[in-house]
Chain A
Amino acid sequence: MENYSVYVPRLVTKRENFAPGHRACIGCGEALAVRLACKALGQKTIIVTATGCIEIISSQLPYTSWRVPWIHTLFENTAAVASGIESGLKILMKKGRIAQQEITVVAMAGDGGTSDIGIQALSGALERGHNFLYLCFDNEAYMNTGIQRSSATPFGASTTTSPAGKVSIGQVTWKKNMPAIAAAHNIPYVATACPSYPIDLMAKVEKGAATPGPAYVHILSVCPTGWRCATDLTIRIGRLAVETGIFPLYEVENGKYRLNFDFPKLRPVTDYMKLQGRFRHLSEDVINKIQQRVSAEYAELKEKASEGKG
């Protein structure tokens, strides 16, 4: 670790474009992910954020955590607002009203703002081919409003609107595969990332920003408040999500899949699940079912990656 603290500052800027002093919960994986993403993005950036945790913790009038130009308007329209900014900059540069330069337009939203209410605007913007980067910070439920289920909530998780009960295991649907939906738009760059792997995350954000056309990065963001886990386990749980194969880190570049971290043997899903209160009620049967699904999906992904295609 000592060596790392000497080495890392040489790789990563010390400048914080997402300023400290925001109101995120202790151990928030999303705030960490945003901070890392902002480091990777640099100054020549305009950020559009959906309504949600990040907007609420960073922008209470008259304060702001943003040291780059930032706009929030509504919940479901983030990708559409980004479309407008990108088009606006393009024409203003063409007409010589602002100086010609590379400015990265970045849309940020949570899993609800991406895979539920914002999916139409996102699909439209990806299909139209705007030159922008979309970052989905996935904490697997509507955390800002108090842990309600979304289509990104994993099977079996207990949330306030998919509570585990005498006759329910909690969430009864499988997590929507948002990166695959993004990739199905045939955009040049799709990736998954997690702040537990900071250098990988920053590299992917940088790559997405440098990609001409739309890029999508789906970032698993551990939420101790909603997942009911200890606040000092954020990094470890993120790593376990990857090591169990529940959230594999991969890229889809021009349709070609590449697995960034492969493991000869995946850890059992229980290693990940037992640290989180949202899964505590699950029976062995249900856990086995989840294990089977995770193994099968991982094998499928690995095959795609080995074939080097979609």
Chain B
Amino acid sequence: MAKRVGIEVSLAIAEAAKLARADVVAAYPITPQTHIVEHLAKLVADGEMDTQYIPVESEHSAMSACLGASAAGARTFTATAGQGLELMHEVMYVASSMQLPVVMTVVNRALSAPLSVWGDHSDVMAVRDTGWIQIFAENGQETVDNVLCAFRIGEDRRVLLPVMIHLDGFYLSHVIEPVLFPEQSQVDKFIPPYQHPMPLHPDRPVTMGAFGPPIIYAETKKAQEVNLEASKEVILQCWDEFGKTFKRYYSPVESYHSEKAKVLLLTMGSFGETAMTAIDKMRGEGREVGLIRLRLWRPFPFKEIRQAVKNAEALIVLDRALSFGGPGGPVCSEIKAALYGEDKKPKVIGFVGGLGGRDITPAGFEEIINRGIEISQKGSENEFEIFGVRE
């Protein structure tokens, strides 16, 4: 039977990689990801995890070593955060374009300058278009479950794409939570061994990473786009299967008291749990508010988002990143784009908050919702507002 243990979420992630029997881990330490790679190193040192651990000299090399290991046919795992993710940036495109199903947990962190080790989604948004499947987790259990799902989804022959699991730095990575770990035998059954159809091996020479002249480049990109879009079906099947096996259910867009709510708040990541507290309180006061949590960031769940918000009058989107000189928050822009062509749609109001680890309390969420309602009724001169910032 599965056992429930109190464990720091970072350590739980390492345990999940162990349960998944990752063959190779290549990682470079960066706050707030360090506890994950420390625990992985410990598991390997103690002989509890049969894994080649490559302590590389940078994140660029971490992701590069992952490419090599994955191309050789090994199940490959890494973790990073913030600046580390930025240093990996160009390598990440190669992982997705060359169909190497690396799994990576990203402990979301703000970007310099000024240096900040604390959480926000600036790092995520900068790698938005790298072609990876991207899933957000709100708590420890969701993180562990989705790390397991990530291997199964990414390595599926119909997919063969790298997968990122996002979790908020410190707020989630460093808290101790009760986590249910499945039995090894259950995991072995759930994640079949990784078999890349054409790994690097002298018995069957392949050429990987040839260059694409204009006559063929666009076709390779179209194929990649079609593949990433099609992965959604496999993601849904995986979550469905996971639910049947482990009785925990996930979907691309998750709702909380949203069915008859006139006003909806949308969050991504661990803020969802705090926002629920605010929603509970406001509903207790008779307010018709609800919450939408976006779990699947890539491929973007257009259909599910449209369905989830269509009956609301106002949709308040909270971003944890800024698109400088642009429309404010990247999530809000995408939601607006997804709804633009719909006949029946809510007014979308954008807020940016929680930058560089700034907390938003339940009272803060109440304030955001009230201000959002005010803007939806009276309008605003601003494209978006930054919540809780001093002038």
Q: Is there a chain A Cβ closer than 8 Å to B65's Cβ? A: yes
CB of B139 closer than 8 Å to a CB of A:
no
Q: Contact: A60 with B60, CB < 8 Å?
A: no
Q: Across the interface, which residues of A come within 8 angstroms of B52, CB to CB?
A: 87-88, 90-91
Give B225-278 interface residues, CB cut-off 8 Å to A: none
Partner among A43, A77, A88 whose Cβ is within 8 Å of the Cβ of B91: A77
Q: Is B211 an interface residue (CB 8 A)?
A: yes
A83 touches B207 (CB 8 A): no
Task: Please measure, in the bound complex, the distance between the C-alpha atom of A204 and the C-alpha atom of B312, giving whole angstroms.
Answer: 72
When C-beta atoms are compared, the residue in chain A nearest to B206 turns out to be A69
Interface residues on chain B, size class: 35 or more
Please, which residue of chain B has its CB at the minimum distance from the CB of A17? B205
Q: Does residue A14 face the partner (Cβ distance < 8 Å to B)?
A: no
Is the C-beta of B197 less than 8 angstroms from some C-beta in chain A?
no
Name the B residues within 8 Å of A35 (CB-CB): none
Known: A71-B71, A80-B68. A61 touches B211 (CB 8 A): yes
Contact mask for chain B residues 52-63; partner A; CB cutoff 8 A; 1 contact, 0 none: 101111101110
Cβ of A66 and Cβ of B207 under 8 Å apart? yes
B50 on the A face (CB < 8 A): yes
What's the Cα separation between A66 and B209 when bound, in Å?
12
Beta-carbon contact of B69 and A84 below 8 Å: yes
Contact residues, A17-70 vs B (CB, 8 A):
43-46, 48, 55-56, 59-64, 66-70
Contact A91 B205 (CB under 8 A): no
B127 within 8 A of A: no
Q: Is A225 an interface residue (CB 8 A)?
A: no
Residue pair A85, B69 in contact (C-beta under 8 Å): yes
Q: In whole angstroms, how far apart are the Cα atoms of A56 and B94 in the complex?
A: 17
Tell me the chain A residues, 246-298 only, with Cβ under 8 Å from chain B: none
Enumerate A204-255 residues with CB–CB distance to B below 8 Å: none
Q: Which of B184-213 contact A (CB under 8 A)?
A: 193, 200-202, 204-213
In the bound complex, how far is the Cα of B208 from the Cα of A33, in angstroms? 22
Which residue of A has the minimal Cβ distance to B60? A77
Residues of chain A with a CB closer than 8 A to B208's CB: 69-72
Please tell me if the beta carbons of A71 and B68 are within 8 angstroms of each other in the complex: yes
- Which chain B residue has the least Cβ–Cβ distance from A83? B65
Task: Contacts A61-B213, A77-B91 given; indicate if A88 touches B69 (C-beta within 8 A).
Answer: yes
**A74 contacts B212, C-beta separation under 8 Å:** no
Q: Is A123 interfacial (CB-CB < 8 Å)?
A: yes
Known contacts A46-B200, A91-B23, A124-B56, A85 near B210 by CB under 8 Å: no
Contacts of B115 in A (CB 8 A): none
A87 contacts across to B, CB distance below 8 A: 24, 26, 52, 54, 65, 68-69, 74
In angstroms, how far is the closest chain B Cβ from the Cβ of A34? 14
- Which B residues touch A67, using CB under 8 A? 205
Q: What's the Cα separation between A108 and B130 when bound, in Å? A: 26
Interface residues on A, range: 35 or more
Residues of A with C-beta under 8 A to B212: 61
Tell whether B72 is near chain A: CB-to-CB under 8 Å. yes
Q: Of A43, A62, A64, A81, which is within 8 A of B67 by CB?
A: A81
Task: Find chain A residues with CB under 8 A from B66 CB.
Answer: 84
A309 at the interface (CB under 8 A from B): no
Residues in A whose Cβ lies below 8 Å from that of B108: none
How far is A113 from B68 in the complex, measured between Cα atoms in Å? Answer: 17
Q: Is A95 part of the contact surface with B, judged by Cβ < 8 Å?
A: yes
* Contacts A67-B205, A83-B65; A92 near B72 (Cβ below 8 A): yes
Query: How far is B209's CA from A64's CA once the two chains are assembled, in angstroms?
Result: 10
A181 within 8 A of B: no
Docked CA distance A71–B95 (Å): 12
Q: Is the CB of A61 within 8 A of B216?
A: yes
CA–CA, A70 and B73, complex, Å: 14
- Cα distance, A72 to B220, chains bound together (Å): 16
CA distance A94 to B54 in the complex (A): 16
Which one of A82, A91, A94, A125 has the greatest number of beta carbons of chain B within 10 Å?
A91
Do A60 and B200 contact each other (CB < 8 Å), given the known contacts A74-B90, A74-B91, A80-B61?
no
List A contacts of B71 (CB < 8 A): 71, 81, 84-85, 88
- Which residues of A83-106 are within 8 A (CB) of B? 83-92, 94-95, 97-98, 103
Interface positions, chain B 114-170, Cβ under 8 Å from A, are: none
Whether A46 touches B202, Cβ cut-off 8 Å, given contacts A74-B90, A88-B72, A121-B57, is: yes
User: Given A83-B56, A88-B24, A74–B207 Cβ distance below 8 Å?
Assistant: no
Closest partner residue, chain A, to B201 (CB atom) = A69
Bound together, the chains give a CA A74 to CA B92 distance in angstroms of 11
A76-B63 Cα distance, complex, nearest whole Å: 12
A162 interfacial contact with B, CB 8 Å = no
B64 at interface by CB-CB < 8 Å: yes
Q: Which 7 pairs, one residue from A and one from B, show the smallest C-beta to C-beta distance?
A: A84-B68, A124-B57, A88-B72, A77-B64, A84-B65, A80-B64, A88-B74
Starting from the known contacts A80-B65, A84-B72, A91-B23, 13 additional A-B residue pairs (CB-CB under 8 Å) come to A62-B216, A64-B207, A66-B205, A70-B207, A74-B91, A81-B71, A88-B23, A94-B50, A98-B201, A120-B58, A120-B60, A121-B64, A127-B57
Cβ contacts A to B, 20 pairs, < 8 Å: A44-B202, A55-B211, A59-B211, A61-B213, A70-B205, A77-B91, A79-B61, A80-B61, A80-B62, A84-B66, A84-B70, A87-B54, A87-B74, A88-B71, A91-B50, A94-B50, A97-B193, A120-B58, A121-B58, A128-B54
